[in-house]
Amino acid sequence: MANAVLRGACLCEADISSAQLNAAVLTGADLRKANLRGAELRDARLDEADFRDARLVGRFLVGASLRGADLRGEYLRLAKLDGANLSDANLEGVEGLTQGQLNRVHCNSGTKLPAGLTGVEDAQR
């Protein structure tokens, strides 16, 4: 399903584990409680998507755009986020996210981070 266009799709509680969604467009998609374990989303456009309580363990989000995405309640341990854009994203309460992961993503002053973690705004890179 690489390059798939699923803009605004309702994928609540869907099992799309291990899906190949590289360069897919899921802007505004509702992915609450979806199972995305092992999914590949390299260079995907996930802006404004709702990932609350989804399962993204080990997912591959290198270069993905998550501008304004809602990731509250997410578990991001082992997620590959290098070069991902998290500008204006809500990551409050996210578990498993490390400072090392955040040091390799794009954030801005609107990015809401879990307690104890800091983002480097693009202008300061």
DSSP per position, 42-59: TT-B-TT-B-TT-B-TT-
Within 8 A by CB and 6+ apart from 111, the residues are 86, 87, 88, 89, 91, 119
Ordered mean pLDDT values, 10 residues apiece, the chain (125 residues): 92 94 96 91 96 82 96 88 96 92 95 89 49
40/12 Cα distance (integer angstroms)? 18
Task: Please report whether residue 103 resides in a domain.
Answer: yes
Q: Are 116 and 93 in contact (CB under 8 A)?
A: no
In a domain, 109, yes or no: yes
Q: What is the CATH number of the domain that holds 3?
A: 2.160.20.80
| Model confidence pLDDT, tens digit, residues 90-122 | 999 998 899 999 999 999 999 999 989 988 665
Q: Answer whether residue 30 is part of any domain.
A: yes
Question: Which amino acid is residue 100, in one-letter code?
Answer: G
Q: What's the pLDDT score for residue 9? A: 97
Range of the domain at 101: 1-113
Within a domain: 45: yes
Whole-number pLDDT of residue 124: 45
Count up the domains in the chain and report the number.
1
pLDDT value of residue 125: 43
